[in-house]
Structure 1
Amino acid sequence: MSDDTRAWLEATGFTVRDEEMWLAALTHGSMGEKRDYERLEFLGDRVLGLSIANWLYRQSTAPEGKLAQRLNAIVSREMCAEVARGIGLPAHIRISKQAHADGGRNSDNILGDVVESLLGAQYLDNGFEASREVVELLFRPALESGAGKAKHPKSALQEWAAGNQRKPPEYEIIERSGPDHAMTFTVRVRVHRVGEAEGTASSKGEAEKAAAKEFMEKYG
């Protein structure tokens, strides 16, 4: 690990002990190395979810449904990628030249995965309490901004259709483009006898969300 990357990790709030593990946390599969970030990302996803759930529970008296709504928004791939860009993560990802040329270093999916892999490394190297503190530090802007308080676009559309005695919205992927690690999805949502709208994003879920939001702006 370079001195620059280690200094960046520690300035960001992480504590580096096992350098090989932290190097794996920053390594994309395209490098073809024995260890990459995937297993750590699996663990970090759970660390992030529990940390955010803990914060929301302690800071709010909202009912379960509202807590779940905020949790889903804050731990979303889009939000994780926003955090990644905010801390300057793209420059430190170890990724092949081809994957970089294909836009991988700026992919929401990859950036979100690496944020979670770093949280997994923090947990293994320093324990849950230290991991929770880093999560609250990195995600504080989202937590304090009220992210997720507004209803998720797909939920809003579902309720709108039911309230207007329409069939449930139907989502369809109409286009996939780009390499596997930097895929772009375009989704169409249709409500029978009302209309349709489209959304494009770097994941199927975010494209559906964008399509639902567009639909509500056009017809809601």
Structure 2
Amino acid sequence: MLLGQFVAISVASNLFYLALVLTPRLPSPSSSHMLSSFPAPVVLWLPVLLSFGTVTMSPFTSEHSFLPNLLLMHTLIILPLLVPDCLFPLAQASAQTRSRFGISLKTLYIVVFGAALVLHARATGQAAGDPLVSVKNLALKAWDVLHSHPAQLSIGWDVIWTSILFVVWLVLHPELQPRVLPSSSTIKGRFLTAMYLVMATPLLSVGVLAPHVFWTT
């Protein structure tokens, strides 16, 4: 998150994937058990959810309120990194030592998925305009918007590359894939997984698909 403030998100995500590859795996319970037991304290989930509020308000900002809203968004994203480690209890910590207002990491993923889905649906509906617009016309309109401004071009292609990297990462790491996808232990399974991700990511966006993947892993 901190690197994302200084470099492109696609670059930061690549460095994150590299860190995961270089980090030795330790014996641990199943992923589903970890998701259900690992606590997300209030200092983590509250800034995340508040940042969705700034995203929601972005289309309604003016030339005077856009920058403060953007700065608030970035501040909320890095806020959990400034909190002392003692406020982040371990997964194996007892119930007494966990945050009173903490929620499970799985619950946080579900909430983020729902919020991202609503925002994506709203943005897609506004972009499409006419509900009867064809997919081709919508794609052409999106392409025009992508190249409408240098800042839009930079951010847009950053999202595209981040989405591509996310798909590649999941295809190459079957252990991280959700249970709803076919097993990637075979060539056929990997092919079906790749096809699903290639079709679902442009439609849902990586912001919607990523929490869904980690929620169902």
Alignment TM class, shorter chain as reference: under 0.3
Taking CA–CA contacts closer than 8 Å with sequence separation of 6 or more, which of the two structures ends up with the larger relative contact order? Answer: 2
- What TM-score do you get using the length of structure 1 for normalisation? 0.25
Please state which structure has a larger fraction of its residues in strand: 1
Q: Which has the higher helix share?
A: 2
